[in-house]
Each structure stands twice: as C-alpha cells, then as structure tokens.
Structure 1
Amino acid sequence: MNRKQRRAAAKFGRASNNSLEETAAAAAVTPGAAELLQTGLKHQQAGRLTEAEACYRRVLAAHPDHADALHLLGVIAHQVGRRDLAVELIGQAIKQNGHNPVYFSNLGVVLKDQGKLDEAMTAYRQAIRLRPDYAEAYSNLGYALWDQGKLDEAVAACRQAIRFNPGLAEAHSNLGIALKGRGRLDEAVAAAREAIRIRPDFADAHSNLGIALKDQGKLEEAIAACRQAIRFNPDFADAHWNESLLSLLTGDFERGWAKSEWRWKSGSSGLSRRNFTQPLWLGAETLDRQSILLHSEQGLGDTIQFCRYAPLVAARGARVILEVQEPLRELMSGLAGVSHCVSKGEALPDFDLHCPLLSLPLAFGTRLDTIPSTTPYLCAPVHGQDWEARLGPKDRTRIGLVWSGNPAHRDDRKRSIELNALSPLFDVAATFVSLQKDLRVGDEAALTERSNIINLGQSLESFADTAALISHLDLVISVDTSVAHLAGALGRPVWVLLPFVPDWRWLLGRDDSPWYPTARLFRQADTCDWRGVVDRVRTALHDLVENKRADPVLYLTANIPR
C-alpha cells in the first residue's frame, strides 16, 4: 500500500478532535449577541446545522466582524466538509481576536483534515501558548504528530493532555494509537480501554482498541471491538474497513470483500475513489463487447497480485484496458487478456465500464478455494540487460534477497529488517544477489562490507528489469514487499518472511499461500522475533543447497503442508 497509508492499512483507526463544548465556552460571553450565539450552539450540538447557521448569520448581519460568529460558522463549514471555507472563516475570526486558543485549536483540526500537518501543528502550538493547560490542543497535537510518524513526541503530547484533563477520552484514545505505533501493545490496549471506560459509546476508541488487539494476535477480540465501534456509529467507515481486513486475514472472504468497499470512505485508508462517468462494474452486468478499465489503486504489490484477474475479465467478452503505476507498465503490457496498458497519469482511451483492481475479487465472488492461482501469469521480458553475464558462472545456487520495503509505509517497522539480520544465512554455500533497490544508510554500509553479495539493486530501473533478473535466480528470499509478489506472479520460488500478525493476504497459520503456489511462508512465532524466522530460513536453505535439489520449485512446494 502507498504512504497515504502513511496510513496502511494501517489504516487502522482515527480519533475525534472537535469539541463544541470548548467552542461554547469560548462564545458564552459575547456582549449583545450572546443569546443568538447560545441558541445557535444548541442547534449545532443537536445537529441542526441549518438553524445554527441562521443564528450566526443574524449576528454577523448586525456585527460583520464578530469573531465568535465567524468562528462558529467555520466549525459548521468543517462539519459539512467545506474545509477551505472553514479555514477562511476561522482565519477571519483569528484576525478579529488572536487571543482565543479555541480558534487556533479548531483551525488546526481543519488544517490536519486537509493534510496540512505542519500548519495544523503550528495552530495547535499557538493554542497551547495561549492556554498552557489546554488538554484538547495537546491531544490534537499528539494525533497530528502520530500522523507524521513522530511517535515519541505524539506519546508525550497525549500524556500532557491527560495530565491536564484525565477525563478526556480523546487523549487516551490518541495515546493508544501512538503507543501502538511504537509497538507498546499492552499499553496501547490499556489506553483504548481507559478511553472506553470514560466514554463507553466512543466509537473511535473501540476501533483503536481493535487495532491494538489485532497486533497482539487477538483477532476475535479485535473483530468484536470493530463491530462495537460500528454499533455506536453505523457509518464509521474506518471501523468497517478495519473489520474487512480482519475478515480477510482470517479467511472470511465473503464478508471481507464486501466490507472492503468501505475503503473509499475511510480516512485511514488514504484512498480516493476515481470519479469516472462510466459505471462501476462489480460483476453483475454483462461484459460482452464492452470495454472496461481496470485501474490500480494501492501499492505496487497489490497491482501485481490482482492483475491476475484481467484474463478472467477478458474471458467474459470484454476488451480490457489496464492502468498501472509507471514502473509496472512494461512488465504488464504482455499480461494475457489485456488489450491496452497505460501508466497512471496518461490519457485514457474510451471505455464503457471500470473496476478498481482490488474490487475484482468481490466481482468474481472469490473464496479461499476459488482464488485464481495459476502461475506464472506474468512473464519476464527477454530483452534488456545481460543479467547472466553480470551474475557470473553458475557454480552455486543463486538466491535473491530483499530485506526492507518502503520506509514511508506505516507498518514498515513490522515488516522490514536490516541486512545484518540476515547474517546467519551467509555461511550457506550459495551466490547471494541483492535485489534491494532503495538502500537505507546502515544497510548501504553493511552491503559494501560484504563481498559475498552481488549488489544489482541499483541497476534495476523497472519491474521488467527485476523480473528478468529473477528469472536467472533459483530462489528469492524477501520480506513482505512487491518483489515477493513479483516472484510469485512469475512462478519463481520465493520464501516470504512475515511478522507475527501479517498483512491480510498471507492469512494465518499456514506455510503456503493460495495466491502464489511457489511461495513458502516463514512466520514470526512472536512479536518482533526475526531471529527465529532467520534461523528457520537458514536451516531450510542449508537443506536446499547441500542436497543440490535439481528443481527448487518442486522441492519448495512439496515441503509445504497443505
């Protein structure tokens, strides 16, 4: 997934920030307009926004520069999704009265929802300067810091909020989010439970509890927490989407695919629905003689995994147009069933229907036993660099390595490791090849020091290059990255190193993958236990190399329990 998943699918969770009670306190004593403002606030708190707006506009008709009325109109604008107008109105209020901390705190809420995190944090900090014990502003600051990945600062800000107001449920909930990000799961669960104790119907806290319980491996409890969140807020898109991921992880595909359509409304998914005029296809309409656009929506690995449905769509009589990320275009241009492949951002040809790639399993009613798993469905190009020459004589088993993914991925801490963590593998009599395109500082130094690894990652300009290189290797060992998907899609042997609670697609408690028949999964036995994973990989690697298996694919799949 992309880093709007800054956000994750991790995509798990959110927290409430607005406080009309604080707003009311700020506007409670306004000479000449207090009665109208208080009436408007009662309407606003009851959800009668039209009536509230009418009250505030009556105040402004008599006092055009009335700061409280401008501010409250800005809050309404935010509530109805008119964020630019909200910023403008609250900004006008601040010009009239730059000493009201509530104005700055609510301005921060709007700016954060616009994705302007630095500006939001400036607003929160100004609110705190004006009121050093402003618990809500500290809580909101903590949430924004979490969204920037500044987890220790987020924890500190939330703890300050709780120090000033121990009964602020949002602060406990936000603290739980930040602690979960730091891997302090027991504390995260405790923080979410405290938020729920303070406010039993706090849907966000129930959802955040589900997130932390998931990472603990307590999946039934996590699903129950998500459903509790939905009970208190039936339209809570984040909770629905979180439940979909948990359902898919536990193999409940029927519920999972249906629920996953909530991702378009979920703030934590980081996804935006494409606004095509052509209808969305989800399997009901006939495709005979229709042209359909299948478009990527999430990460590179997702595109590789779900492009497998293109031939099935074509088999229903459709002309398939496939839109993918530019690094994948060359590789996917040869995908069976695809009439035309374009890169995102390029002009699209005419089409009649469209479907996002990750909605195709829903369209086809995919269940565990009906996953289209025939591989290879991608083929490496025959042109390009002479990888055989660059690899040298084939006197040993060739093993490709990928040990880290996109550092912007919110779950990167869980899925990526350092090169040195793989050191126990390097006494195996094999030729190791780095497929790692982007190197982190420590890994770059470690790779330079190792003479027994051929570093070809920097020569990989596209996934077509990576596919061609993989075709010259006997095995790929990778953490959960797009390269693992690529090796599986090419039908090449791949060993995938997985965290204790993996991404949904790897399911639970099995060493094989129904998505990729040539994959073997090595799972953590406990949170952060990469040493145990690497030791088991080393044992399997010794067995593979020392026994000189003639066909690694047959060997690898034969040893996978079914």
Structure 2
Amino acid sequence: MATLLDALTAAVNHHMSGHADAAADGYRRILVAEPAQPDALHLSGVLRAQCGDPVSAVRCIGRAVRVRPAAPAPWGHLGAALRAAEMPQRAEPVLRRALALDPADGDALEALGASLHALAHYPTARRWLERADRLRPGHATTQLNLGTVLRDLRRFDEAEACFDAVLARSPASAEAHLARAVGRLVRGDLRAGWEGFEHRWHRFATPPWAGQPPGGATILLHMDQGFGDAIQFVRYAPLVAQIAAQGGGRVILETHLLLYRLFNRCLGSAVQVLVRGENPPPHDLHCPLMSLPRAFGTGLAEIPAGIPYLGPAPDDVLLWRDRLEALDDTGENGAGLRVGLVWAGNPQHRNDRNRSIPASALRPLLAVPGVRIVSLQTGEAAADLARLTGTAIPNAMERVRDFADTAAILANLDLLVTVDTAIAHLAGAIGVPCWLMLPHVPDWRWMLDRADSPWYPSMRLFRQPRPGDWTTTLGTAAAVLKAHAARAVRTKAG
C-alpha cells in the first residue's frame, strides 16, 4: 500500500521531469488527505509559480511557511512569488527572513535585489544583486537584473557589460537584447536601440516590412504594445502609405477599438484602418508600429515631428466645449486657465508604483490661483481627489467613449498636466501643451535630463530629482503654473 511519502516522491518526480499536470494532481491528492502537509503545500506553490500563477503560489506557499516557519526554502520561494506577482513591498521582508535562515540562498538574494529595484531602492538593490553574483558567477538572471539596476543608476558601461555577458552565453536572449536596447534608447542612441527592440514578441508569420519598396504588396501595420506606443508611432503610417503607393501597394492599420475613430478620421484617406480581430486581415508584409522607427532609420535628427498628426473632429470639439463649460459651472475654481490633470496610470503597469502620483501630493497644483482644474483621471484613482479636504474638482471622463472623445476634451484645454500614460502621447500628437511628470528613472522615450521631447514639441518634462520625490517635482510645476496663470490674467486685462 502506497504511503503519503511514496505519493510525495512520485509527485516530485513528475515535477522534476516537467510533467506539470501529473505533479499538480499528485500534490492535490496529498493535500486532500493531509491539508497541512508542508512539503506538498510548498512544492505545489512552486509549481504554480513556474506555471505562471504567482498569486495562487503565494497562497499555497504562505500556508507552508505557517506550518513550518523555520524552513528557509519556502520563505525564499514565497518572496520570489510575491515579487513575480508585482508585490515587492510584501516580498522584501519575506526575502529578508529567508536570508536570515539561509544567507547563501542565491535565488532569495536575486529576488530581494529585484524587489528593491521595483521599489526604486537602486543602490540597495545593487548591493544585494552583486552579492548574488559573487555567490554564483555567470548566473544569467542575476546578471540581467544587476545590469538593469546599473542601467537605472546610469552606470551604463557596467550595465552593458552585464548584458553582453548574458548574450555571450545566450545570443538569442530576448530579455538581454531588450534591456540593452532600453539603455541605448534612453541615452538617445536611437538607431542601436531600435535594433535591440526587434527582439520583442512578434505576432505574425508573414515577412516583416523593414522600409523596402513593397511593389504591389499589402503592408499590415499593427499594435504590439500599449495605447501610448500606438499613438506615438502611428505618425509613421502616412509615410509607409507614400512608399507603398509608389509601387501600387497599400497599407492597412489594425488597431484597438478605442483608437479606431481617432485613427480612421486622421489616416483614413491614405490608410485603411481596421479594428483588431481574432485573425489578421489578408496581407503580404507586416510591421509592428514600434518597429517603424527602425524601418525608417530614425535617429534624433530624423524623428517625424510634424504636429499635429492626429486631431479631433470639429463637431466633437464643440460638443465637449459645451460639456466642459457646464462642468465649470459646478466647480469652485473660478475663471482662468483650464488645466486637465491626470495623476495615475494603469495600475497593472509593472512600473505604476513609480510613475503614478499619490493624490495627496497634488495639493500645490490645486492651490494655484487663476486655474480651473479638470480631472481627466480614469479608473479607481479618479475618486481620490474627492477625499482631499476643500477640493471640488469636476471629472470630464465620465461620458468619454474612446480616444477621439479624449482628443476633443484636450482641444478645449489650455494645458494638460499628467503622469506618463497614454493621454500624454495624445496631447503631444494633437499639439496641446502638456507638462509631463516623470519619475527619477524615466521610460526610455523621454531620455535623460532634458526638459523637452523631440517626439512632441508641445511637451515640457518635469523630472524627479531623486527616486520618489514628487514633492519637489510638483512644487516646481506649481510655481511655473502660477506664473503662467498670472501672465494669462495680465494678457486678458491688457
């Protein structure tokens, strides 16, 4: 008769052999018989993490550490699962506990460094990752994480050495190519960066278009990243259409429903715009929107910056003018500059904790006289302003259907103040003045230190001087806004 130990041994053998379903079934049967069996809880959680379900892994391994709190390995795996589940604040103390029990746990060292990196504790993250690298020299994931931290510390040569070491052993490592590409792009070395960016995931098996005359072929342009990326790089679509038309070809742009009205109105005369479906439309060549800068050999001097390249329908602008005026009547800000405000991005974005701003930090902006603040915030964060004492800020997004509506709202503003999210790209694309609040380590497209953007001439960049320091950033923006509002009053009076 098989014992519980026999069943556990069989499940572990399946696990080690890569038979995930059989291993999961074995662990499940053990836990039905003995719900608190610590090894089955632990290893079942590890398997769930390996299968891409870190949230479920956290629950399972969490039960294991409660049953057997002195065992170091479950603590390390729990911390790694918390980190994979985008919960680095919870991961940090768990991983410190794991390392207190086993200081030589390389996986826990690496996970702690990566978690601290996600929390923008860059020097500390570097120390833990260097310790992990000394413990197991040449470990690819450790070197990749260390290189990423060094890149964000602006130690670019050392970062490239880490990425190059990974690529020397694994030349096809997409993660290393992309990490190295980001370091080059953020420094303005665009052409080298575009090459590395080609290692991201591709959807189609058809041949890629890389700038060559297509003859009579149909070129399919398609989204492969987020809304902001699509808005930024759709500027190239008319250029592709010009090249295609010279040889009797044509261009199709496949996009998200929320972008369809905007893109179709602005590009529809030269490009056929379709809503993305389950299967792509018939085509001969394809190109992701993010690959177009590479296809055109774009360096800093070659960025197509003709603004606007998108714009709202005039009827929509008039409709939203009336709606915004009605909202002004319900506010308490008085007459003055109409300023749109967005302080939080998509909470599912992996870097959202660093790029989004707590609503409480917005008080300096809200206190500027001569300004009518209009919230353009969406999602759960939209309710945050109402919790601030003494504010009555109208939200214009409740009746918005898509980005075409948002563009019409922006056209009725004097200024947009926003964090790094899609609406910043939309404002830049239609030429609305936009102030972008950036974390200390910005996304690559905003590069380093400069206060302007070659992608969007109407944009001004306000950067954190230190990780997490929104107080200085917003204080500076509020002072500049106060001067703008006072100047507007003087101009109106004169």
TM-score scaled by length of structure 2: 0.86
Task: Give distance in 1, aligned partners of 2:490 and 2:167.
Answer: 54
Output the CA distance in 2 between the equivalents of 1:499 and 1:257: 23
Aligned pairs for 1:254-265 within 5 A: 254-264=191-201
- What is the letter of the counterpart of residue 379 of structure 2? D
Paired letter, 1:312: L
**Residue in 1 that maps onto 2:308:** 376
Structure 2 residue aligned with 1:289, among 216, 219, 224? 216
Q: What is the SS of the residue equivalent to 1:531?
A: helix
1:515 to partner: Cα distance: 0.6
- Superposed, 1:256-335 pairs within 5 Å as 256-264=193-201, 273-274=202-203, 276-284=204-212, 286-317=213-244, 318-335=249-266
Query: Structure 2: which 5+ runs fail to align?
Result: 1-5, 329-333
Q: Please state how far the C-alpha of 1:248 moved relative to its aligned partner.
A: 0.7
Query: Aligned residue for 2:331?
Result: none
The residue identity in structure 2 corresponding to 1:193 is E
Query: Among 463, 476, 481, which residue is 1:523 paired with?
Result: 463
Structure-2 change in CA distance of 1:550 and 1:352 (3 Å): farther
Q: Which residue of 1 aligns with 2:132?
A: 195
Q: 1: distance between equivalents of 2:69 and 2:253? A: 54
Say if 1:475 and 1:132 are closer, same or farther in 2 by CA, change over 3 A: closer
Cα drift, residue 391 of structure 1: 2.9
Q: Which residue of 2 aligns with 1:339?
A: 271
Q: Do the aligned partners of 1:201 and 1:232 also contact (CA within 8 Å) in 2?
A: no
Match runs of 1:304-453 below 5 Å: 304-317=231-244, 318-336=249-267, 338-345=270-277, 348-384=280-316, 386-392=319-325, 396-425=336-365, 426-440=367-381, 443-446=384-387, 449-451=390-392, 453=393
* Percent identical residues: 38
SS of the residue 1:457 aligns to:
coil
Q: Distance in 2 between matches of 1:439 and 1:74?
A: 40
Task: Work out whether 1:117 is the aligned partner of 2:117.
Answer: no
Q: Residues 5-62 of structure 1, C-alpha deviation per residue, up to 9 Å, x if partnerless?
A: xxxxxxxxxxxxxxxxxxxxxxxxxxxxxxxxxxxxxxxxxxxxxxxxxxxxxxxxxx
User: How far has the Cα of 1:130 moved from its partner?
Assistant: 7.5
Bigger mean CA offset, 515-524 vs 122-131: 122-131
**Paired residue type of 1:91:** D
1:313 to partner: Cα distance: 1.0
Structure 1: where are the runs of 5+ without partners? 1-64, 78-84, 265-272, 552-562
Q: Deviations over 1:440-486 (max 9, x none)?
A: 276242478424x4421223221111100111112211111111100
User: Structure 2: how far apart are the matches of 1:428 and 1:225?
Assistant: 50
Q: Aligned partners of 1:474, 1:66: CA distance in 2, in Å?
A: 69
* Structure 2 SS opposite 1:201: coil
Matches for 1:19-38 after TM superposition, within 5 Å: none
In structure 1, how many angstroms separate the alpha carbons of the residues matched to 2:85 and 2:280?
34
SS of equivalent residue, structure 1 residue 455: coil
Is the contact between residue 451 and residue 462 of structure 2 (CA under 8 Å) also seen in structure 1?
yes
Contact 1:437/1:460 (8 A) holds in 2:
no
How far did residue 237 of structure 1 move? 2.6
Distance 1:122 1:542, change over 3 A: closer
For the structure 1 residues 201 and 288, does the alpha-carbon distance in structure 2 shift closer, same or farther, using more than 3 Å as the test?
same
Task: Give the residue type in structure 2 aligned to 1:479.
Answer: V
Q: TM-score, normalised by structure 1?
A: 0.76
**Residue 540, structure 1, aligned to residue 474, structure 2:** no
SS at match of 2:377: coil
1:288 Cα deviation from its structure 2 partner: 2.9
Shift in Å, 1:133: 4.4
What is the letter of the counterpart of residue 147 of structure 1? Answer: A
Aligned to 2:419: 479
Deviation at 1:513, TM superposition (A): 0.6
Displacement of 1:347 in angstroms is 5.4
1:160 aligns with 2:97: yes
Label 1:132 to 1:359 Cα distance change in 2 as closer, same or farther (>3 A): same
Q: How far apart are residue 134 of structure 1 and its match?
A: 4.1
Deviation at 1:125, TM superposition (A): 4.4
Change (3 A) 1:507 1:70: same
Q: Secondary structure at the match of 1:440?
A: helix
Q: Offset at 1:332?
A: 1.0
Q: Tell me the residue number matched to 2:106.
A: 169
Give per-residue Cα distances to partners, 1:329-375, cap 9 Å, x unaligned: 11111233653222233654321121111111122221111111111
